[in-house]
Structure 1
């Protein structure tokens, strides 16, 4: 998988779509719902659904990141499948706390 900044990917098992914000430092396998994600222009195979335990879903506008590889994704379309990197679930990236203005 060639995850370049700005590249778009979609799930093979649900409606989820993501945009790469920061690419990983190494070659990885990006997955959604237990299946490898597809390039945005590729056709989704018919009849697939998220695997058991991989159906937590993703929300539009949320960022998911992996601190070990540096990968950061932005969800552009919500879906039922959960995002994973090399089989390891991706964590929702929390917003940074701003300093108080007292």
Structure 2
């Protein structure tokens, strides 16, 4: 998978753009994401945290970075490990 690839969730309306990708399967709502929309139902209860438009999601190792371009009910994960929102870098103080 290369940067710029757009993935769609099979369990909700979530769509993400790949910024950086390592080895693993990107999931949303407990189901793998794909470039084509293929509906398989609702997000699993333990993967229904939701996504927010414009937020970047990363894993602990920073191997994966995804930009949410369409929000949904499912939460993002890589091989079952949840992704978290990337914090904004603080601006330097102006004196």
- 5+ residue gaps, structure 1: none
Q: Does 1:93 align with 2:90?
A: no
Match of 2:39 in 1: 45
**Shift of the alpha carbon at 1:38?**
1.3
Measured against aligned partners, the alpha-carbon deviations of 1:43-89 in whole angstroms (never above 9, x if no partner) come to: 4235x100011111001100001141521100000000000011000
Pairing partner for 1:32 from 23, 28, 36: 28
Alignment coverage as a number of residue pairs: 95
Q: Normalization by structure 1: what TM-score? A: 0.87
Aligned-residue Cα RMSD (Å) equals 1.2
Match of 2:13 in 1: 15
Match of 1:64 in 2: 57
**Shift of the alpha carbon at 1:28?**
0.4
